Structure formats: C-alpha cells, structure tokens
Structure 1
Amino acid sequence: MECIALGAVRGGLGLGLGLGLGRRFVTLRRLENLSPNRTSDLLRAQDNRRVGVLTTVTLLFVGMGPFFGLRYYQMGIPSLSYSVLVTMIVGVVVVVWVRRGGNAATGGGVVTGALLILLVYSNWCSGGIGDPNFGWLYVIPVLAALLVDARVGWIFTGIVFMLALLFWFAPVYGIEIPDYVPVELQREQSLANRLSAIVAMGVMLAALAGQQKHARGLLERVNNELIYEMNQRTEIQARMVRSERAASMGSLAAGMAHEINNPLTYVLGNLELLQGYLSADQSESTNSNRQESQLMISEAIEGAYRVASLVRDLKTFSHTSEQDTARVDLARTIDRAAKMTSNEIRHRAELEIDCPGDVWVLGNQGRILQVMINLLTNAAHSIEPGASETNAIRISVSEREGRILLEVSDTGAGIDPDLIDRIFEPFVTSKAVGFGMGIGLSITRNVLQAMGGTIEIKYSSPQGTAFVVTLEPFDEDTSNSELEKPSPGSRVERKGRLSVLIVDDEELVLRSLAASLAHHDVVVEIDGREAIRRVVEGDFDIVICDLMMPKMTGMDIHAELLRQCPDEAHKMLFMTGGVFVKEAEDFLSSVGGRWVEKPINFGELEEKIWNRIEAIPGGA
C-alpha cells in the first residue's frame, strides 16, 4: 500500500503540475494582452512565461519533495533521499537567481537537467524500467520545451530515448539494476507503475494544453501588433503626405506671390487712377476718359478674378479631405498645377500641355493636384535654369484600355541608374543634399494607389525622363454626386423679385451683396440671433448666410432653425471664405451644393439662389 500511496502522491503532483502550468499560461496570456503591442514586449512575455513555469514546477516539487525523501529514507535508500533534497535546493537557488535577473532559459535548462538526473538515479535504485518513476521520464522533454525552447525539448527527447534503451538492454548484457523495493510491495508497485504512466500522460496533456493556449495568446498578440503597426503606418503615411504638401507649399510660395502680385499691381493701379478721375472736375471728363475708365474697370475685375482663382487653387491644394473621391476635371487640375509651378518652370523650360478638355477622372482633386505639382516640380528641378528655349516639359493625356494615361516628360538630366529601381522608395533622391528629402515620389505612388491609380517610369536617360500615371476614368453611372437637383415639377420662372435675407459679420460684404442683389427685396443682418428672429417672424424666399462668424456661425443658425422651423432651414444658402476645421468641412458635405466660395461671382450667386429655390418643394 505504501507504493500505491507513493503513486497517488506522484499522481497528485503530476496533476497539480499540469493544472498549474495550464493556469499559469492563461494568466500570462491575459497579462500579455495588457501590454503594448511591441516586439520587445513579446520577448519579455516569453521570459515571463518561462519564469512562471519554472517557479510553478519548483514550488510543486519543493512542496512534495520532503514526502518523497522521507519515504525513500524509510525504504532504506538514503542516497535517493539525499538526491531529492539536493534537487530541491538546486531548484530554489535557480528560481531565486532567475527572479533576480538571471537568464530564464538557462535556469530552466538547469532545473530540467537536475530532475532528469534525479529520475535516472531513482530508476537505477528501484528496478530500472519497471520502476513507477520511469513514466516521469516522459515528462522531461515537454518540460524542457516549456522551460527553454522546442530545440532543447528535442535534445531531451533524444536523451530520454537513449536512457530507455539503456535500461531495457542492461539486463540483456548482464548489467544488474538493483531494486530496493521490498518484495511484499511488488504487487502494489505494479499498480503504482501504471498509475504513474497515466499521470505522466496527464501532465503532458495538461502542459500541452497550456502551451497551446499560450501560443494562441501570442498569435493574438502578434496579430494585434500587426494591426497596430498597419494603423501606425497609415497614420505616418498621412503625415508624410501632409508634410510633403506643406514642403511643396513652401517651395511654391515665391512663385504664388509672383503670380498674385502681378495682377494686384494693375488692379490697385487702375483703382487709384479711377479714384483720381472721380475726384477731378466732372466737366473735364471726356469720352476718351470714360472709355479708358471702362477699360481699367474691366482689367481690375479680370485681375481680381485671377487672384481669386489662384487663392482657390492654393486652397484646393493645401486643404483637402484625404478620402473623398469625386469627378475631377483633369484638364482644369493640370492647368492649376501649371499655374502654381510656373515660377519654377519658366526659367528652365517651355511647358507643353496636350490634354483634351473633356477628360474626367475619379479621384480626389487635391491629391491629384499634389501629384501633378510633385511631377512638374521634379521635372523642373532636373533642368538647369537659364536655357528655357532649348528645354521642354511635356504633359500629354490619352486613354488606353479603359484607363486614363497621363505622361509627364522632361529634357532634364535624368535619374541616376543606381537609383532608378528604388526611386519610389522613401528618402531616395538624386537631388543634392538640402534640395529634397526624397519622399515626393514615394508619396505620389501611395496617393495614386489609394485612388486606384499607378505610376511608373517610362524611360530615363541623360536626355530626359518620363513618368506615366494611370487614373480611373469617371463613370457617370457610378456617380453619387450630391449636387442639389430641382424637385420634380418644381421648375420656376427665373424672374421676379425674391425676398432675401443676407447674414454676415462684415458690413462691407453686406453692402456689396445688397447692391449686387438690388433687383430683389434684400434685408441684411450682422447678428446671428437677430437673423434667427427675423426668419422665424418673417417670410423670406432665401437666406444667404456666412458659414464662419465669430459670435454665432452659420452652422449654429442652421441648427437652431432646424429646431424651431425646419422648412426655413432648407432655404439657407451658405458663403465661405475657406474651410479650416473638420466640423465645417463635414457640414458643407452634408448640405450638398448649397454654398458658394468667396470672393463671390455674382452671376454664380444668382444661379445658386434659383437652384435652391427650385430645390425647395413648392418653389418660390
């Protein structure tokens, strides 16, 4: 019965070891999931797992070891009893060393080796392969794999295999293995042997189950880390796009200032001359002066619209939603890019553009503009200034196999052959140090890929370079344009007087708009709260409201009217001098085409007013 009791104790130890390992793995996995998703954390978690398993094994052995030592001593095997005591001491010392910063894998290897030596000696003292302890040798390779790694587990598997063969063949070759177990306990020994084998299998299964849970936890960790890294990469890419856009803005600033100052020169000059004419004696005014005044007014208007167009192009480039896609006029976008880079190009090459006027693509206008500016700037920088009449930068657009092809070529110095295969990688550039970070083409490729486009080098040589961009053509059937459309049967006659309320915080803007809409009944208001009161108490056909005002924004007025009188809120048309916050951008997207940009083209404003009137059920 003593052997049965000993087998039961060993069985309890084995079951406790297996369940302890399983619980330890689950606990570690939960703890690891709380850590940041970093590779160093994964390695640290692996070491923590080893330390946890090592501690669990040592504590269980130390807890049960004294009983083993006592039983062996009572059975007349004091050397085996002392071996148990030495193994306990080794285990405790190793655990203390590891927990104070020692290498967990090394400590695990030492404890596994100590247990293997103890089991071999135990089997040698109690009959060899027939000893109940022999089943515990099967646990050693699994323990080695858990405490160190799979490679060491395989090594211990080979060692245990060789030991099993040695114990098996020892009697065949006349090597006697002593058996200190009393004869009267042989029957119980046989039962204990079987119980020990079953327990050993249970330990392995429990340990493997725990390892599987731990492996699943590590896979989840790696998966979470990959997701995190992908999100980080997307964010970094977006930041690089914005950074490159800002850098391009800086390099284009001088050229844009030149393009704006030129028309401002004759706008201001003409206005000052007109002021002089008006202050002069009217009797001295001649027909020639009147004709000259009319010409100066026309030139001033043309110059002001030219400045407005440049500012609008700059705003499109600098502030655009990263994800929105819509129908983009490619010819118009190329023209904008050409104007914005003209100061970079004019002293280096002639710009030749071959683009039909009816080419529409699906994409993001600001991003396509950024691509064009990057390509034109790179082309210009590849040509030394001073010989513009002998160099050229060419833009050609064509259609092939259902795709729009845009080719940008130059007669510059070409790309270094050593860099051409890596030219789309970040921070690869053929420019001199200080003249570029080498991220423009990388960003260009990423931007195009996000819109379903591509870019590749057609050729590069000392005589020039050509890039080919492919874009997705716009399909009318897939358009989801939110431009407001008249309600069925709501077409109204576009004549007659309308009752119009104009809300803006700038008195000069109010005065100008009121004068331009003098053919309607116009009321102006500078205060948002008062404007709401007027709308609620009055009966206006249309409400024209500035979007961004200091005290109460157009968005606030719209929200309040939606709460008090929703029908009046639908009559609102918004004006904006620029959208600089996400809230305003989202709001304009939600109201479709119900807004106009400042400076306002009064013909466009009149068109927008009647479109809004026709879109309201019932019309004016």
Structure 2
Amino acid sequence: MGQSERGSFDLELAIEATDDGVFDWNIETGAVSGNRRLYQMLGYEPGEIEPNVAAWEALTHPDDIKGSRRAIAEHIKGRTPAYRHELRLRTKSGAWIWVVDRGKVVERDASGRAVRMSGTHTDISERKRLELRLLVSDRMATLGTLSACVAHEINAPLASALGCLDVAASEIDPRRGRPLDEARLADAIAVAREALLRVQEIARDLHSLSRVEQEDRATPVDVRDVLEGALRLARREIEQRATLERCFDDVPQVAADPARLGQVFLNLLVNAAHAIPPGAPQDNQIEVATSMSAGRVLIDISDTGQGMDPSVRARVFEPFFTTKPSGAGIGLGLSICQSIVTALGGDISVESAPGFGTRFRVSLPALPRAVPETKSNGGSASPAMARRRILVVDDEPGMCLSLRLLLGVTSEVVTATSAAAALRAVAAGPQFDVILCDLMMPGGSGQDLHRRLSVEHPAQARVMVFMTGGVLSAETQAFLDEIPNPVLFKPFEVERLEAVLLSSRT
C-alpha cells in the first residue's frame, strides 16, 4: 500500500471512528453521495434514499427546512466560513432524530460560484434529550423561587372572591328577613368574577411555562403577551424591590415557542429583581421595553441594581457560572436563555457596570406583519345556539354541575363522572352533538375514551372536545397533535366555551 493509499485508508478509519455520516453534494446537479453511516443513521442502507438533495430535504422536518436553506445560502454567498445547522430528519421507521449538519464549500468555478460542498451529519438526539431535561429543570427551579409570590397572587384574589360569594349567598338567603338588594348582589358577583379572572390568568401563565415539549413548537407570538405573562408571575418579587416601568412599542410577531420564550423573560425578570435588595422599591426601577430595529424585535429588561464588573459580565452566559451564594442556583439560567434565543435565530446581550445597573437585550427576527382581514358588514353575528344533546365527562362532580347549570338553558345536558359511565351513556343513545370530556381522570382518561369511541362509535369520537387543567405529558400532547378535536384549558370563559361549541356543530 502506497503512502497516498495509506493516508486515504487512515482518513476513512478516522471518519468511521467518529460515527458521523459524511456527504458530498454537487451543488450544480443536486447529486448527493455519502458513506454508509450517513444512511444507517436513519435506518436505511445506501441506495434506499434517492441520491439527490431533494430526497434529503423531503426527510427534513418542515419546521427546519427554512432555517437550513438560509444557513446554506449564507455560506454559499461567502458570508460565513462554514455551514452549521441543527435539524430533525425522519428515519425509516417514521421517528425523528436530531442531527447537526456541518458543511463547507470545497470547490468554486472560475467566477467564484460554489459548485461542490462536503460535510458531516452527527446524531445529537441524546444531547437534545439532556438539554430538554436541563431546560425543564431550570424552568421549575425558577418557578420554585417564585412559589411564595405566586401563592400570594392566587390566594389574595381567591380570598376576595370567597368573601364576595359569601355576600351574594347572604343576599339570596330567604331567612335574612329583608328585601333583596340587587345592586349589592350584582356588585358582589362582579368583584368575585374579576378576582377569579386574575386567578385564571395566573393559572394560564403557570400552565404555559410548565409545558414539557420534546421539541420546539414555534408559532407566531406577540412578545408583549409573553412578557405580560412573565410579569404576572414575577410581579410580587419585583414589587418588593423596585417600581416597574413598561415601554411597549408596537412590534411585529416573532416565531417562537411561547413556553420557552416565557422562560427566557421570566429568568431575566427574576435576575433583575434579585440584583436589587428588597425594602426600598421607591428608590429602584426595573424597565421592560420592546422596540423594532432593522427587521428585528428588541426586548430590553433593565434594572438599577448593583451591576456587574467586566470579569463577571464576560462570563455571565457560561454554564454553571454564578455569583449567587451556595444553594441559590447552579448557574444554568442565563446559559439556557442564550441557547433558547440562539435557536430562534436571535441573540442576547448584556450591558452592565458596577453601580449603574444592568440591561439585557434579546433580539429576535421579526415576522412579516399580517394584513388585517376585511370584515364583512353583511350577515348576522354568531349563529344562534340550537338546542342540542351534550355529554359532560369529568371526575369532578362540581365541574359537571357547573357545566350543566351553564349549558342546561339551551341544551340537554347529560353528565358522567368516569369514562365507563360515558361509554354507557353513548351506548344508550340517542347520539350526542358534543362530548365535553376531561383529559385526566382516574380509571380511564379522556384519551382512553376517545380510543374506545373511535372503534365502537366513531361519529361520537369526532365530536369530542377535551378539557384539561393540568400539565400535559409528552404522550398526551402527541395524542392531541394527531387529532382534530379542540381542547379547552381550565379555567375557561363562557365565551370561549360557546365559541368551541359553535365550531363543533355537526
């Protein structure tokens, strides 16, 4: 074996030892070739995937195609020294794996146009699973630091609501011996409703931040809505230390997972609050601002706290770096924030100096503004609710009773407190127009009931509307993603319930 052949053989051995897939792409013709590992990583053998870039793009997760194309184009134009992008590829079994796709133009023609690129695929699925565990752990730790404040945010309006309901109960008590004061009754109910809506907002914010997803679910979101949710959770922590200033410019939406973006904002708000000692809120300020610059949405979170010296500022995004005392955190919060923001195509920066406070800036790519829909002047408002048969399935008798009282005026309502009882009600007939079903019930979940009905009464499975007040497991979320049935998150407003019932008309 000659020296050249020996060098080539050693290179092949080195590549095999890395367990990476290696590809070669003819940019002009679209032809792609690779080593055996490139295909086996996805459960295929060489020859089972068409040898062209279109076939590989067809295996790429739809949410990752645009980012991959953009990163490749930036490198081909010479704006980056190499191409690197993390994406999901579909395996032969239909599952998804995460890979980091690296490449570099290795040949250009006389005019400088790229004609050939070589690179590697590395399976990073296990790393992604560990990152998810760290992300969720950090999220729960952040919420844990706010637990006392969040409890106050819930208990205070609950106390108000219970007091007002006691007033309402006393007004309608026939033993009270004086005429009904309708104005007092109406005021008590209105105040109780307002207080419970505050609890509802907190519950929704907690639900959003507590979601456990196996992957990003990027949707168009208004960063101001996500900020408001984070501010509601951190409000009590901030109020003990500083006054809060909002300066929200009108900004376009961004593509992001609301839970992960909310985690970034909550981390930054808690850090801003903890940079200021409690006890003198009138002397300190935390400002939250949104603005637009050069096609990017900017979110600034500033505080008048103690600030950071250059050595701390330089390391603030490093994993496990912290200036907090032992037991107050392991220093992953800002590192995770940076990872989340970077994955969204954004960046996060910090400006700080001792004695002059700190400003964190999150910069995210803006989505094109949607064209407002033109509303027709013709036609009526929402269609009238025809009388219908509704089955309510919930293991909480109180929930069954409240929905029966709410819907019984316009509909025939049957209630069941278990999946087994619901199956009996469906079998007994006549057919239900809508089945409102809780997702998590002992002895048989809403998911179990849907599976049974899909086999035994498929028309009834199609009219199911799920209700949930808990954090969804990855399995349950995957189930909901696969079916067209709507979901109501408890607590929900009457208007939201009626809208879903109208959209579920058969």
With the length of structure 1 as denominator, give the TM-score of the two structures: 0.59
SS in 1 for 2:422: helix
C-alpha change, 1:359 and 1:606, in structure 2 (3 Å) is: same
Q: Which runs of 5+ in 2 are unaligned?
A: 22-99, 101-120, 372-380
SS in 1 for 2:156: helix
C-alpha change, 1:555 and 1:237, in structure 2 (3 Å) is: closer
1:601 maps to: 493
State the distance in 2 between where 1:579 and 1:374 align.
20
State the distance in 1 between where 2:468 and 2:499 align.
17
1:531 equivalent in alignment to 2:327? no
Q: 1:513 aligns with which of 395, 400, 403?
A: 403
1:495 maps to: 385
Q: 1:283 aligns with which of 164, 168, 177?
A: 177
1:260 maps to: 154
> Are the equivalent residues in 2 in contact too, given 1:503–1:526 (CA < 8 A)?
yes
State the distance in 1 between where 2:260 and 2:11 align.
44
What is the CA deviation profile of residues 558-599 of structure 1, one whole-angstrom value per residue up to 9, with x for unaligned ones?
222222343332211111122332221112223356111112
What is the CA deviation profile of residues 5-46 of structure 1, one whole-angstrom value per residue up to 9, with x for unaligned ones?
xxxxxxxxxxxxxxxxxxxxxxxxxxxxxxxxxxxxxxxxxx
Q: Which amino acid aligns with 1:258?
A: H
1:378 equivalent in alignment to 2:271? yes
Task: Choose between structure 1 and 2: higher strand proportion.
Answer: 2
C-alpha change, 1:358 and 1:545, in structure 2 (3 Å) is: farther
Task: Choose between structure 1 and 2: higher helix proportion.
Answer: 1
C-alpha change, 1:561 and 1:475, in structure 2 (3 Å) is: farther
State the distance in 1 between where 2:353 and 2:482 align.
46
State the distance in 2 between where 1:208 and 1:414 align.
59
How far has the Cα of 1:378 moved from its partner?
1.0
State the distance in 2 between where 1:304 and 1:569 align.
32
> Are the equivalent residues in 2 in contact too, given 1:579–1:585 (CA < 8 A)?
no
State the distance in 2 between where 1:433 and 1:543 align.
52
What is the CA deviation profile of residues 82-132 of structure 1, one whole-angstrom value per residue up to 9, with x for unaligned ones?
xxxxxxxxxxxxxxxxxxxxxxxxxxxxxxxxxxxxxxxxxxxxxxxxxxx
How far has the Cα of 1:348 moved from its partner?
1.2
1:239 maps to: 133
Q: Which amino acid aligns with 2:389?
A: S
How far has the Cα of 1:606 moved from its partner?
0.9
> Are the equivalent residues in 2 in contact too, given 1:504–1:545 (CA < 8 A)?
yes
C-alpha change, 1:582 and 1:320, in structure 2 (3 Å) is: closer
How far has the Cα of 1:254 moved from its partner?
0.9
> Are the equivalent residues in 2 in contact too, given 1:419–1:428 (CA < 8 A)?
no
Q: Which runs of 5+ in 1 are unaligned?
A: 1-203, 479-490, 614-618
Q: 2:164 aligns with which of 270, 275, 280?
A: 270
SS in 1 for 2:492: coil
SS in 1 for 2:189: helix
State the distance in 2 between where 1:416 and 1:429 align.
13
How far has the Cα of 1:280 moved from its partner?
6.0
SS in 2 for 1:550: coil
What is the CA deviation profile of residues 362-398 of structure 1, one whole-angstrom value per residue up to 9, with x for unaligned ones?
1011111111111111111111222211211111111
1:25 maps to: none
C-alpha change, 1:601 and 1:218, in structure 2 (3 Å) is: same
Instruction: Output aligned runs, 1:386-401, within 5 Å.
Output: 386-401=279-294
C-alpha change, 1:390 and 1:260, in structure 2 (3 Å) is: same
1:447 equivalent in alignment to 2:243? no
C-alpha change, 1:523 and 1:338, in structure 2 (3 Å) is: same
State the distance in 2 between where 1:565 and 1:435 align.
54
RMSD between superposed Cα atoms in Å:
2.9
> Are the equivalent residues in 2 in contact too, given 1:415–1:430 (CA < 8 A)?
no
C-alpha change, 1:522 and 1:349, in structure 2 (3 Å) is: same
With the length of structure 2 as denominator, give the TM-score of the two structures: 0.72
Percent identity, aligned pairs only, is 33
2:433 maps to: 541
1:314 maps to: 206
Instruction: Output aligned runs, 1:110-189, within 5 Å.
Output: none
SS in 1 for 2:146: helix
1:555 maps to: 447
State the distance in 1 between where 2:16 and 2:441 align.
50
State the distance in 2 between where 1:286 and 1:562 align.
51
SS in 2 for 1:509: helix
C-alpha change, 1:232 and 1:499, in structure 2 (3 Å) is: closer
Instruction: Output aligned runs, 1:210-249, within 5 Å.
Output: 213=9, 216-224=12-20, 230-249=124-143
Q: Which amino acid aligns with 1:374?
A: N
1:354 equivalent in alignment to 2:247? yes
Q: Which amino acid aligns with 2:362?
A: V
How far has the Cα of 1:347 moved from its partner?
1.7
Q: Which amino acid aligns with 2:444?
A: M
C-alpha change, 1:258 and 1:449, in structure 2 (3 Å) is: same
Q: Which has the larger radius of gyration?
A: 1
> Are the equivalent residues in 1 in contact too, given 2:212–2:474 (CA < 8 A)?
no
SS in 1 for 2:495: helix
Q: Which amino acid aligns with 1:401?
A: A
C-alpha change, 1:286 and 1:229, in structure 2 (3 Å) is: closer
SS in 2 for 1:418: helix
What is the CA deviation profile of residues 276-303 of structure 1, one whole-angstrom value per residue up to 9, with x for unaligned ones?
444462432353xx42232222222222
C-alpha change, 1:589 and 1:355, in structure 2 (3 Å) is: farther
State the distance in 1 between where 2:437 and 2:126 align.
40
2:221 maps to: 328
State the distance in 1 between where 2:351 and 2:16 align.
44
How far has the Cα of 1:224 moved from its partner?
4.9
2:358 maps to: 465
C-alpha change, 1:329 and 1:345, in structure 2 (3 Å) is: same
State the distance in 2 between where 1:583 and 1:361 align.
27
Q: Which amino acid aligns with 2:140?
A: A
Q: Which has the higher contact order (CA 8 A, sep 6+)?
A: 1
State the distance in 2 between where 1:430 and 1:547 align.
43
Aligned residues: 397
C-alpha change, 1:390 and 1:359, in structure 2 (3 Å) is: farther
